[in-house]
Each structure stands twice: as structure tokens, then as C-alpha cells.
Amino acid sequence: AQKITQTQPGMFVQEKEAVTLDCTYDTSDPSYGLFWYKQPSSGEMIFLIYQGSYDQQNATEGRYSLNFQKARKSANLVISASQLGDSAMYFCAMRPWAAGKSTFGDGTTLTVKP
Amino acid sequence: DAGVTQSPTHLIKTRGQQVTLRCSPKSGHDTVSWYQQALGQGPQFIFQYYEEEERQRGNFPDRFSGHQFPNYSSELNVNALLLGDSALYLCASSLWGNPDEQYFGPGTRLTVT
């Protein structure tokens, strides 16, 4: 069974500062992918970044980076230079390598203050 | 390049009725997964379709059924609607065997009264 834990129900950050959203996971699958999605109030789930379990380097996509620590089973999302438009719900998800189902955490609501 | 599309956007149904939701995957994708997202929670996996067959299923009753067509589009059917079926239904598309991509559609918000 897979489990994703996001321990921060809500986070606040000042505009232009960096913020880290926590995610820990548990799985027995030897190969898997980790995803972060942004969900604004409109409801659409927007893909942000992906990290494969065998990737040696941490993934980066523009202002997003994933701090992957396999031994600790953590996959934290770092958003640099926060913008007001970053205010949304953020979900961490895991998916086995064999294209199976994705398991999501309960999400973190990020509020960016001007 | 068209992304994942879903229809309708919103739907209001009465308890006991049946509903059909539709999804077209992103161009180049052949696998469709459906998720149910209740208010304030993360999405829960319903099932996944590839090559017109249900490949995996989450912990949902048989009232939830689906179909995939030769053009890879998919339908989600829910029979005998309950108030608890009110949720945002998300469709995700991906390429079978390629784990690093999964894109979601805008969702269908179903309200059961």
C-alpha cells in the first residue's frame, strides 16, 4: 500500500520569499514517481514537477524544485520567489513505475501575502 | 496541442439518478484514469483504462463503471447516485508504461441533491 503524508494543512509566505512544502511517502514499490500539483480555486489540477525514484539529481522546473531524500522518504517542494498567483492548494502524489494509480496526500493550502 | 478535456463542467442530479461524465485525453496519451475529489480532500483513484479495458480499480462500488473508446476517450458512469457522490471528478491522461507524465483535466463538479 502507498501513503502520502502532507503535515502542513496551511502555510503562509511573504511575496518574493521562498517556501518549502513538506511531503513524506511510504511504499513497497521499488520504482515510483513523485509528483507535485497545484490546484487553484477553479479546481483544475496543474502539474508542477516530477521526480523519479532512480533520478540522481533533484528535479527543477523554473521556480519549482523538488528536494528528494530517498532514505528519508521525503519529497519536499520548494517554491522560490513566491508570487501572489502561487496562492492555491498543493498536492503531493506518488505513482508506481508500472503506470498504476496515483496516491495523493491531503494537500497544503499556501497563501502568499503581499 | 490540446490538453485533457472534460464535459460537462458542472452537473446537478437527484439521488437515485444516473450520470455520465466524459473525458478526452491529451494528444498522444493512451491511458485514462478517473479520480473523485471530495471537498477539502485529495483525489481518490476510481479506475484506470488502457486499450479499452479496466486495468486497475480503487475502492469504489460497482455503481461506478467506465468505458474507453478506440480514440482513447473515456466515460465514467455512476448509477443510483447518493448524496455522498457529490464531488469534483477528475480525469487524468498518461502514456502507458511512461510514469513521468500525468496530466489532469479541469474536472466535472457533480452535485447530488
**Residue type (1 letter), B16:** G
Phi, psi of A97, rounded to the nearest 5 degrees: -60, -30
| Statement: residue A99 has pLDDT above 70 | no
Mean pLDDT of A90-101: 85
H runs (alpha helix) in A17-106 = none
Are the Cβ atoms of B43 and A46 closer than 8 angstroms?
no
Q: Over the stretch B9-39, which tens digit does the pLDDT of each residue have? A: 999 999 999 999 999 999 999 999 999 999 9
Query: Which chain A residues are closer than 8 Å to B34 by Cβ?
Result: none
Q: What percent of chain A has pLDDT over 70?
A: 98
pLDDT digits (tens, 9 = 90+) for A32-84: 999 999 999 988 899 999 999 999 899 999 999 999 999 999 999 999 999 99
Tell me, yes or no, if B111 comes closer than 8 A to chain A by beta carbon.
no
Is residue B59 scored above 70 in pLDDT?
Answer: yes
Mean pLDDT of chain B: 95
Q: What is the predicted pLDDT for the residue at B102?
A: 87
A21 is written with which cell numbers?
Answer: 512544502
Q: Taking a C-beta distance cutoff of 8 angstroms, is the pair B81, B24 a contact?
A: no
**What percentage of chain B exceeds 90 in pLDDT?**
90
**Rounded to the nearest 10 degrees, how much is the dihedral formed by the CA atoms of A112, B4, B10, B14?**
-120
In whole angstroms, what separates CA A58 from the centre of its chain?
A: 13
With 90 as the cut, is the pLDDT of residue B77 above it? yes
Nearest to B96 among A32, A99, A102 (CB): A99
Decide if B70 touches A, using CB distance below 8 A. Answer: no
